[in-house]
Amino acid sequence: MKNSISKSTLNRIAFIGNYLPRQCGIATFTTDLCESIAKQYSETTCIALPVNDAITGYAYPTRVRFELTEKDIDSYLRASDFLNINNVDLVCLQFEYGIFGGKAGSHILALLRELRMPIVTTLHTILKNPSQDQRRVLEEVAALSDRLVVMSERGSEFLQDIYDVPKEKIDLIPHGIPDVSFVDPSFNKDLFGVEGKIVLLSFGLLSSNKGIENVISALPDIITRYPDVVYIVVGATHPHVIQHEGETYRLSLQWLAQQKGVESNVIFYNRFVSLEELTEFISAADIYITPYLNEAQITSGTLAYTLGAGKAVISTPYWYAQEVLSDGRGVLVPFRDPVALAEQVINLLENEAERHAMRKRAYNFGRAMIWSEVAQRYMESFKRARAERRHYIPPNLSVKALDKHPWELPPIILNHLKNMTDDTGMLQHALFTVPNYSHGYTTDDNARALLVSILLGEMGKSESLGLTSRYLAFLGFAFNDKTKSFRNFMDYQRNWLEDTGSDDSQGRALLALGTLLSHSHTPAFNSMAGWLFEQTLPIILQTSSPRAWAFALIGIYEYLQKFAGDRRASNVQNELAGRLMTLYQNNRSEDWRWYEKELSYCNAALPHALLICGKSIPNNEMTEAGLESLNWLADLHRSNEGHFVPIGSNGFYQKGKERARFDQQPIEAQAKVSACLEAFKITGDKFWNKEARRAFEWFLGRNDLNLPIYDPTTGGCRDGLHSDRLNENQGAESTLAFLQSLLELRLTEQIHLSMELLK
């Protein structure tokens, strides 16, 4: 048999599985395996067929010859045709239920059934208690494969005992790892600014089954004994988690670190790192921790990497860890037990000789796992499969502590904004994510949208010009020359439903126009916005809504940043600010620091307006009143657990009566973010920056129901929080509230960073 194996020639091998730059462990493994074999066996051509989970695909290297679409079964059939006609001698499949379409990844069977060459399948998951579909798929994958590769003894046992696979068909080949030197952990610590520190490390794509919260919970006990400990968590949130949940899990970890008082000892490196970067992180670690929550893990690339690098390892006892950390190569602690974890960390740090002996045992064990060795083992398996089947033709993937850089903001996704915008402007409502034509358009929403498009321009987004033009055109169309005011409601057939819109629509239009005139460098926009601003400014004095005054005052403040000599604008500012101040003085009491006898909607706009008027006029009494009322509102908005709770719209909050908890509206969070960021700019007090972030976190899931209001799959925002569920509609007001908050936070961050660089 050995002779027949050695003489078998494999000219062309195809690797099926995820592939870099897709961000996942399977992609990293497939790429490393393919490249290692290509490097060691130059006479063999290696090609790759990755599976795309996104319509746009990825920027793959030239080794990728054909791309499968995860949920399109026809692409699997086309791939089998491609392989059959391109003289492929063997297919190496990376099997994981979650990367292929169909129930339990069953689409891959359509491809395997049609192949005419040997198949060697690496099994990345082997379940002890599979569902009926999972059992069926794995059994057929095993039957269609000539050989099966597992990475642990337990995996081999499961295949034999649970899936009735003959032992002779199974090859045990360890998880491949890079070949790194056995170095002192202090060697690379200066790269990350942690020289002189004791480094605990976890890495990998972040998801809620990783158990990172248990390490953070263990840190207070560890730091009491070793105050120089830092815990570095390396890796981006898993793309599928981002798609469905956003950054809720990472945020929960950051909140936990702050709650435990260890934010100065925790570093998140939120990136999908290269192998070179990963190697440097690993080399800097004194102790590596895998605190996974689930026993049913048959392999772990992250554990394999650190074991082979000669790290002292502490792990929960999932299957793979039990096996590779035996014989003193690591320490196991119970699942979800921060106390035991802290004890073991302290024990290893106190017993340096044992820790280094453990490192050496791990490093020596890992020598058989380096990719050059693993590639040879795979080639032996490939040749064995080829030899056994040669007479058979079947029918057919700057570091900062949390207190220095507490979190990362979500990406700016404009899909839903564009979906809700047509040739006329932005539609008012949606049924789920589908624009609702029956409710038409409003000036309110298009003024909000214009403000968002201006902020996009400040961020350098190319979409800004087109969107600004669209929304500004709507305001121009909304202007009624007879009344010198804006109309608000327009039906889908472009019929105005009134001659003069609400007070709020006048104020919001002035807010957007004033902001545009302050920031725009497009002469045509400025000319139109300037004319509209001048024509409609007097009408705001005829309104009776304090919120309309507040919106207008914010717009006038922006306008005066560029046109400070405009006496009429200054006079209107003085008049409206005086009205707000009088309201506050007349209604304020020791237990009621507010402008009216009721808190209703968009409340934070009132102190926001008074604050900036105090700065602009200037008037210290207004500034103090704005800060006092905003601080009182912040206390009202803060739950016992510390998260943001806006005034509910089902009854609001009348003085002396019970406040409404629900429904909670996105516009409340946006108004609070804007007001607090302005207070932060004016005072420099970091308290206000934290309050702005607290309000923004409401969108991301830090709220009464722990449910994300923001939808990362669309870039839209759900219409609110009921007492028991989300309002799943994603209308204009809510989506614009989220985008405005996000953009204002990003711009504030940019300004703060610029100031830091200039110091």
**Sign of the C-alpha dihedral, residues 310, 279, 273, 376?**
negative
Residues 153 and 251 in one domain: no
At residue 403, the pLDDT reads 55
Query: Minimal CA–CA distance to 275: which of 314, 249, 309?
Result: 309
* Residues recorded for the chain: 759
At residue 462, the pLDDT reads 81
- Arithmetic mean of pLDDT, 654-675: 97
Residues 379 and 364 in one domain: no
Peptide bond into 174 cis (omega under 30): no
User: Residue 623 falls within a domain, yes or no?
Assistant: yes
- Arithmetic mean of pLDDT, 54-72: 89
At residue 390, the pLDDT reads 54
**149: domain CATH number?**
3.40.50.2000
Residue type, 554: I
Separation of alpha carbons 333 and 350, rounded Å = 17
Pairing verdict, β 119-123 and 90-95: parallel
**Residue located via tokens 């793959």:** 60
At residue 759, the pLDDT reads 41
CA distances from 6 to 168, 278, 363, 383, 663 (A): 19, 36, 31, 7, 72
At residue 5, the pLDDT reads 43
Q: For residue 401, what pLDDT band results from cuts at 50, 70 and 90?
A: low
Q: Is residue 757 predicted with pLDDT exceeding 80?
A: no
- Arithmetic mean of pLDDT, 215-238: 95
User: Residue 570 falls within a domain, yes or no?
Assistant: yes
- Arithmetic mean of pLDDT, 656-664: 96
Residues 622 and 726 in one domain: yes
Q: What is the pTM of this model?
A: 0.72
Residues 378 and 363 in one domain: no
User: Residue 214 falls within a domain, yes or no?
Assistant: yes
Q: Is residue 199 predicted with pLDDT exceeding 50?
A: yes
Say what percent of the chain tops pLDDT 70: 95
- Arithmetic mean of pLDDT, 647-669: 97
Total Cβ atoms within 10 A of residue 131: 12
Residues 437 and 330 in one domain: no
At residue 407, the pLDDT reads 58
Separation of alpha carbons 513 and 473, rounded Å = 12
User: Residue 398 falls within a domain, yes or no?
Assistant: no
At residue 349, the pLDDT reads 97
Q: For residue 751, what pLDDT band results from cuts at 50, 70 and 90?
A: confident
Helix or strand (DSSP H, E) at 637: helix 620-637
Total Cβ atoms within 10 A of residue 469: 16
Query: Minimal CA–CA distance to 92: which of 390, 396, 383?
Result: 383
At residue 4, the pLDDT reads 39
Written as six digits, the tokens of 441 are: 């358009």
Burial class (CB in 10 A: 0-12, 13-18, 19+), 547: buried
3-state DSSP assignment of residue 496: strand
Between 522 and 243, residue with greater pLDDT: 522
**Sign of the C-alpha dihedral, residues 687, 690, 691, 692?**
positive
Written as six digits, the tokens of 116 are: 């005419």
**For 562-584, how does the pLDDT look when each residue is reduced to its tens digit (9 = 90+)?**
999 999 999 999 999 999 999 99
Q: For residue 400, what pLDDT band results from cuts at 50, 70 and 90?
A: very low
Residue 166 CB contacts under 8 Å (≥ 6 apart), including other chains = 160
Q: Domain limits at 249?
A: 185-369
Beta carbons of 10 and 89 less than 8 angstroms apart = yes
- Arithmetic mean of pLDDT, 54-59: 83
Pairing verdict, β 720-721 and 726-727: antiparallel
User: Residue 232 falls within a domain, yes or no?
Assistant: yes
At residue 135, the pLDDT reads 94
At residue 3, the pLDDT reads 40
CA distances from 563 to 285, 517, 528, 550, 602 (A): 56, 9, 16, 19, 28
3-state DSSP assignment of residue 594: coil
| In 1-106, alpha helices (H) | 2-7, 25-40, 73-85
Between 301 and 429, residue with greater pLDDT: 429
Asked which of 51-65, 394-408, 598-612 is least confident by mean pLDDT, the reply is 394-408
CA distances from 610 to 412, 511, 621, 678 (A): 30, 15, 10, 11
User: Residue 69 falls within a domain, yes or no?
Assistant: yes
User: Residue 308 falls within a domain, yes or no?
Assistant: yes
Q: For residue 758, what pLDDT band results from cuts at 50, 70 and 90?
A: very low
At residue 398, the pLDDT reads 43
Residues 438 and 527 in one domain: yes
Residues 333 and 462 in one domain: no
User: Residue 395 falls within a domain, yes or no?
Assistant: no
**Residue located via tokens 């702050």:** 258
At residue 478, the pLDDT reads 98
Beta carbons of 548 and 507 less than 8 angstroms apart = yes
Separation of alpha carbons 559 and 546, rounded Å = 20
Average pLDDT, the chain: 93
Beta carbons of 199 and 232 less than 8 angstroms apart = yes
Beta carbons of 70 and 52 less than 8 angstroms apart = yes
Total Cβ atoms within 10 A of residue 566: 17
> Which strands form 331-332's sheet, in the order they lie side by side?
331-332, 312-315, 287-290, 198-203, 229-234, 266-269, 400-401
Q: Is residue 208 predicted with pLDDT exceeding 60?
A: yes
At residue 352, the pLDDT reads 94
Residues 112 and 205 in one domain: no
Asked which of 85-99, 160-174, 220-234, 398-412 is least confident by mean pLDDT, the reply is 398-412
**For 258-297, how does the pLDDT look when each residue is reduced to its tens digit (9 = 90+)?**
999 999 999 999 988 888 888 899 999 999 999 999 998 8
**724: domain CATH number?**
1.50.10.10
Domain count for the chain: 3
Separation of alpha carbons 563 and 491, rounded Å = 36
Query: Minimal CA–CA distance to 202: which of 151, 294, 263, 269?
Result: 269
CA distances from 88 to 10, 118, 119 (A): 9, 9, 11
Residue 109 CB contacts under 8 Å (≥ 6 apart), including other chains = 102, 137, 140, 141, 144
Q: Is residue 408 predicted with pLDDT exceeding 80?
A: no
Separation of alpha carbons 509 and 504, rounded Å = 8
Query: Minimal CA–CA distance to 176: which of 40, 372, 373, 369?
Result: 369
710 CB-side CA count, 13 A:
33
Pairing verdict, β 489-490 and 434-442: antiparallel
- Arithmetic mean of pLDDT, 726-744: 97
Residues 588 and 441 in one domain: yes
At residue 755, the pLDDT reads 52
Query: Minimal CA–CA distance to 464: which of 421, 528, 409?
Result: 421
| In 291-402, alpha helices (H) | 301-308, 319-324, 338-350, 352-366, 371-388
Written as six digits, the tokens of 540 are: 């705001």
Q: Is residue 256 predicted with pLDDT exceeding 50?
A: yes
Residue type, 564: A
- Arithmetic mean of pLDDT, 683-710: 96
463 secondary structure, DSSP code = T
Q: How many angstroms separate the first and last alpha carbons of the chain?
A: 72
Pairing verdict, β 68-69 and 51-52: parallel
Q: For residue 521, what pLDDT band results from cuts at 50, 70 and 90?
A: confident
Residues 215 and 343 in one domain: yes
Residue type, 133: D
Residues 335 and 427 in one domain: no
Beta carbons of 341 and 214 less than 8 angstroms apart = yes
Separation of alpha carbons 14 and 17, rounded Å = 10
Residues 298 and 342 in one domain: yes
| In 479-544, alpha helices (H) | 503-519, 523-536
For 211: left if phi > 0, alpha if psi spans -120 to 50, otherwise beta; the answer is left
